[in-house]
A and B are shown apart, each in its own frame.
Chain A
Amino acid sequence: MTTLPTQTDKKLGLVIDLDTCVGCHACVISCKGWNTENYGAPLSDQNAYGADNSGTFLNRVHSFEVQPEAADAAAQLIHFPKSCLHCEDAPCVTVCPTGASYKRVEDGIVLVNESDCIGCGLCAWACPYGARELDQAEGVMKKCTLCVDRIYNENLPEEDRQPACVRTCPAGARHFGDLGDPDSDVSKLVAERGGMDLMPEQGTKPVNKYLPPRPKDAMPEFDVLAPFLEPVAQEPKGFLGWLDKTLEKL
């Protein structure tokens, strides 16, 4: 049924730290690596080695330049990983005509039952974040599963029971947990750092939160040594001065 649950027992999701992300795209690669050989159809590539290559990815890293208003402030470069935000009010779920898209009551993960998907693409149209991509080889909709086949997988060592993107992030910019529990580590992190929603005006109530970049500190003025560092001689004097003038005349 593609109606949304009124509430979910947990709100599993990601917290992405825009201050820490270095834009290495390791999460993109580990996501594709895990998800192409596990849950559902593989993530196909088209013309992978040609000039106009494209493929299905569940996680992509944009880079934005932000120019502060102050005239002397330097522009900031912010790397911006983006994947499904597992919205509480997920518009992609309710538009689905076949019931293939659904939001799980137990943990709030939004999934696609690929054997029911007709590939109409309407869920991707309804998603403001571009989190869903229609796989060109399989003809079905692919999206982040929050690595549902890792997080509950008792065949994996305990430290691996988190989404592949979180496990691989070398900068520690990605965090996974229950955002419905105010005492969870991720909820505390969101409260401490002022975690935000993307496009709140779309009314999707995303579970995933983004931590904004910390304010940049300003370089203090060092006036103590500055007077001693002034250039001593502006014009050459003495022998060098005579040489300079003489050579000038030649």
Chain B
Amino acid sequence: MHPAPSVIFFTVFSGLGFGLLTWLGLGYPSVTGWTAFAFFAIAYAMAVGGLLSSTFHLGRPERAIKAFTQWRSSWLSREAWCAVGALVAMGLYGAGLVFLGERYSLLGIIGAALSMATVFTTSMIYTQLKTIPRWNMPVTPVKFLSLSLAGGALLSGQVTAALVLLIIAGAVQLLTWSMGDKALAASGTDMASATGLGGIGKVRAFEPPHTGTNYLLREFVHEIGRKHSQKLRIISLVLMVALPVILLALPFSHFLALLAVISHVAGVLTARWLFFAEAEHVVGLYYGKR
């Protein structure tokens, strides 16, 4: 799949933003006034910034409001509702903390649940696609949720929780890679089933239908950078999990915590680039590209 910067930015920062909102909604840290304002400003900048970024990959962003209509069948539509619900609930809860110094804990819990629901619906947009076996696995939503909670814990300064959750998220990430590497072969979709010609013999793509490129090749048959995927996996895991864990395990200082956050974000961005770049869409089989 084409690793579009707008979609990588969207999934990474909305995941972090809604992860932070989840912890704030549950009262960790229990802050009020200007401190609360700072925390909520960071969370909203990430969550809303991510959501806005997602509209940049639309062909017709001016009609984006129509994406709210099909919540009965479409995960993308459900994501839109959950995101707005979470932002409204957490906005009211945050206003209470900042301006009234009051913690409406039920509202916070609802907001936290909606924030996690947003991350879950985002992950289901990818998980539901049978055309991309690497994503079409129950472990995909577990990865998005564990990463979001770990990133949220890191941003909200929950050191112990962050340590545990980062290690869990790292383990889940390793699991998705090892399962994902076998997913296309296990799906049973290959050139023989794509063409129906496997009964005659070995099928080879002889001539593509067009001399130039097209939307399908640009969007679905991205193969650049796969040769570095093992190195990038190690780099992303070190930045995303190993380095922040070491920095958090040292005696706490705000500077080390900031370094841990920067390292984590860089690691998640790398891992998310790989999530798209490594994903094999079965349409590539018609072009002999798998």
Q: A53-B212, A57-B214, A121-B57 are in contact. Are A66 and B74 (CB under 8 A)?
A: no
Chain B 64-87 interface 0/1 with A at a Cβ cutoff of 8 Å (1 = within): 101111101111110010000000
Residues of B within 8 A of A127 (CB): 131, 283
Query: Does any Cβ of A come within 8 Å of B253's Cβ?
Result: no
Q: Please tell me the size bucket of the interface on A.
A: 35 or more
The secondary-structure label for the interface of chain A is loop
Query: Does any Cβ of A come within 8 Å of B196's Cβ?
Result: yes
Docked complex: A124-150 residues within 8 A CB-CB of B: 124-130, 133-136, 138-141
CA separation between A124 and B59, bound complex, in Å? 13
Chain B 186-223 interface 0/1 with A at a Cβ cutoff of 8 Å (1 = within): 01110101111101111111111110111110111000
Residues of A within 8 A of B187 (CB): 201
Q: Are A128 and B283 in contact (CB under 8 A)?
A: yes
Query: Does any Cβ of A come within 8 Å of B158's Cβ?
Result: no
Which one of A90-98, A151-159, A163-171, A228-236 is at the interface? A90-98
Query: Does any Cβ of A come within 8 Å of B238's Cβ?
Result: no
Q: Are B70 and A2 in contact (CB under 8 A)?
A: yes
Query: Does any Cβ of B come within 8 Å of A199's Cβ?
Result: yes
CA separation between A212 and B67, bound complex, in Å? 41
Q: Are A125 and B132 in contact (CB under 8 A)?
A: yes
Contact residues of B with A, CB < 8 Å?
1, 57-61, 63-64, 66-70, 72-77, 80, 125, 128-132, 187-189, 191, 193-197, 199-210, 212-216, 218-220, 281-283, 286-287
29 interchain pairs, CB-CB under 8 A: A3-B73, A52-B212, A54-B213, A54-B215, A55-B214, A64-B195, A65-B205, A80-B286, A91-B130, A96-B73, A97-B69, A97-B74, A97-B76, A98-B70, A117-B59, A121-B57, A124-B220, A125-B1, A125-B129, A125-B131, A125-B220, A128-B189, A133-B215, A196-B196, A199-B189, A200-B193, A201-B188, A202-B130, A213-B197
